[in-house]
Structure 1
């Protein structure tokens, strides 16, 4: 009797395991079939063209939602998996697309990787060495921002420091002068002032993480001091190859306790870029005047480019203390002593 019961239990367990196995196989077959079907076009036999817009900064997840909502893909998760499988994650581009329901996933991903039309976008360039006021004026002239709104948002870093940790290192109430990265940007015409400022801060953050963050301790300067120095280098230098040397001159003068005597800082105070400063100009009272104050100014005087930022934390290994513009190409003569400096012939 016991043997019969034991045999019955074994048969029951066997049938249960067999059922589970069959269910697992059927599930695998179903999932595999569904996966393959999801790779296919949504409607190969009745193709339909659909216009979609992928906003700037859209993630793969956001793009999957856009395609699904427009009836161009079967499944959002499988789309995202296929994007990763094809090595296209992070490579899908913003723009306006005319896609078709006859396109399979691979074709859709290929098209999205090429980039769409940008008929609703506009490009603008922030030149290296531009001051905050100049940036605002340029964008306002292109009708991209309201001048007063832009200046109001950028006059205090508190408006953006919750999103950007590096801004928390600056002084309370400090403006974004120097931190709106100079570059060429493409934006939608409807982009707000906040979004435009955020794009420029995003670009600064990239350079900060790549070139500055790990070197701050090596130069014994704060982030604000580094960007301030970089902004002076930007305004003083004409040639990229000279920027590390200009940086070294200012680093050396700081170590020697000498005033930086940068004409660029006086030009910032005056609000104009005079070719030749008068003695009266160099005596203008201001904490930004490096002719009458020791050390660096309290904040940047312009937006430095990447070369100037890198030069600020990587000065050349030279012992120069002076430089003067002498070449028609914007080159300088660098000297070690004041006597040598006086003998260098400045460009007229």
Structure 2
């Protein structure tokens, strides 16, 4: 092949490459424009309200199909790409939604990620510091569980330890007191007691593994001891900023073999939240009475929340041995090192 022919061939290849590159660039510009246009509202100027129902378990593809068939989005594929780019893949929620054609794709995604009405779903909240009896009573009053069945199931960890191996660390016959995590839950109407209990155990595991276990460090406590102390802290603390201080007091007492003397443990024995305990109350014969027994009670006295669980494994670095309420309505406590300071800290009458 002559030099001229080679040059012509090289030029031809170059032109083809340039043309190919231009086609790619033009295509990308077209695709980008098409994508952006598909994100826009279907009818911003003349909005029409449309109610839709997203069934439980719907995939992003299924939701895209529902929206497209109702005239709420321009393109199903663009919707799926936008969901993935938003980081909400698998997080769009079932329910009833009142949408309209003036909403952009991103606005629709935002609404769907927050959840809509679902007439088949009910929500309940278990406050931090609730005992098993209180949980059962609350759920029973709300028509969610049969109280006696719920209590029977939670009275023995053996009913659930096959599915939850961590329960094998507890004593034989120990109840689930302290291990039903206090939070807000959504369930379907008619959900069985077993499933509700498992949902709460699942949440406990999640919080413990992500927020508590990484902070245990050199603390030589069993799982049961961590949750037991956390439950006492939960019942004693009124302010989040004091949880680590209260934890430190109890840790310091345990180190010097001093009774914890927690009013919360006596209240647990009494079965009531008695504000002022009598001397007779503090002398009740019970393994849960930390006024007459050294160390921790044999099991938790309530369901601790995340902050109390973390405070248990991360006590404040202080040498306090006492605390008492300020009785000023704030729920705050005065912390002291000696018994004499503790007495002087008594609120003035």
TM-score normalised by the chain length of structure 1: 0.74
Which runs of 5 or more structure 2 residues have no equivalent in the other structure?
Answer: 1-37, 39-49, 70-77
Match of 2:267 in 1: 267
Alpha carbons of structure 1 residues 319 and 332: separation in structure 2 relative to 1, 3 Å: same
CA offsets per residue over residues 256-276 of structure 1, 9 Å max, x none? 011111111011001111111
CA offsets per residue over residues 255-308 of structure 1, 9 Å max, x none? 001111111101100111111111111111111111111100011001111111
Question: How many Å separate the matches in 2 of 1:347 and 1:317?
Answer: 29
- Would the aligned equivalents of 2:212 and 2:310 in 1 still touch at CA under 8 Å? yes
Question: How many Å separate the matches in 2 of 1:156 and 1:314?
Answer: 30
Which runs of 5 or more structure 1 residues have no equivalent in the other structure?
Answer: 1-39, 41-48, 73-77
- Would the aligned equivalents of 1:216 and 1:222 in 2 still touch at CA under 8 Å? no
Q: CA RMSD in A?
A: 3.8
Question: How many Å separate the matches in 1 of 2:195 and 2:184?
Answer: 15
Match of 1:178 in 2: 178
Question: How many Å separate the matches in 2 of 1:120 and 1:204?
Answer: 25
Q: Secondary structure at the match of 2:235?
A: helix
- Would the aligned equivalents of 1:325 and 1:332 in 2 still touch at CA under 8 Å? yes
Of 284-293 and 107-116, the range deviating more from structure 2: 107-116
Match of 1:252 in 2: 252
Question: How many Å separate the matches in 2 of 1:306 and 1:113?
Answer: 25
Match of 1:120 in 2: 120
Question: How many Å separate the matches in 2 of 1:86 and 1:238?
Answer: 39
- Would the aligned equivalents of 1:251 and 1:315 in 2 still touch at CA under 8 Å? yes
Match of 1:324 in 2: 324
Q: Secondary structure at the match of 2:216?
A: helix
Match of 1:196 in 2: 196
| 2:301 pairs with 1:301 | yes
Q: What is the count of residue pairs matched by the alignment?
A: 306
Alpha carbons of structure 1 residues 120 and 255: separation in structure 2 relative to 1, 3 Å: same
Of 308-317 and 115-124, the range deviating more from structure 2: 115-124
Q: Secondary structure at the match of 2:123?
A: strand
Q: Secondary structure at the match of 1:333?
A: strand
| 2:288 pairs with 1:288 | yes
Match of 1:27 in 2: none
Match of 2:187 in 1: 187
- Would the aligned equivalents of 1:126 and 1:135 in 2 still touch at CA under 8 Å? yes
Question: How many Å separate the matches in 2 of 1:113 and 1:127?
Answer: 25
Question: How many Å separate the matches in 1 of 2:107 and 2:319?
Answer: 59
Q: CA deviation at 1:125?
A: 1.7
Q: CA deviation at 1:183?
A: 1.7
Question: How many Å separate the matches in 1 of 2:192 and 2:184?
Answer: 17
Q: CA deviation at 1:154?
A: 1.0
Question: How many Å separate the matches in 2 of 1:88 and 1:313?
Answer: 33
- Alignment map for 1:234-253 (pairs within 5 Å): 234-253=234-253
Match of 1:15 in 2: none
CA offsets per residue over residues 138-192 of structure 1, 9 Å max, x none? 1101111000111111112222223334323222221111111112223222222
Q: CA deviation at 1:128?
A: 1.2
Q: CA deviation at 1:127?
A: 1.3
Match of 1:340 in 2: 341
- Would the aligned equivalents of 1:260 and 1:291 in 2 still touch at CA under 8 Å? yes
Question: How many Å separate the matches in 2 of 1:229 and 1:243?
Answer: 11
Question: How many Å separate the matches in 1 of 2:203 and 2:140?
Answer: 21
CA offsets per residue over residues 39-69 of structure 1, 9 Å max, x none? x9xxxxxxxx9964533xx4x76x7679889
- Would the aligned equivalents of 1:216 and 1:223 in 2 still touch at CA under 8 Å? no
CA offsets per residue over residues 102-136 of structure 1, 9 Å max, x none? xxx99996774352322333322211111110010
Match of 1:26 in 2: none
Match of 2:276 in 1: 276
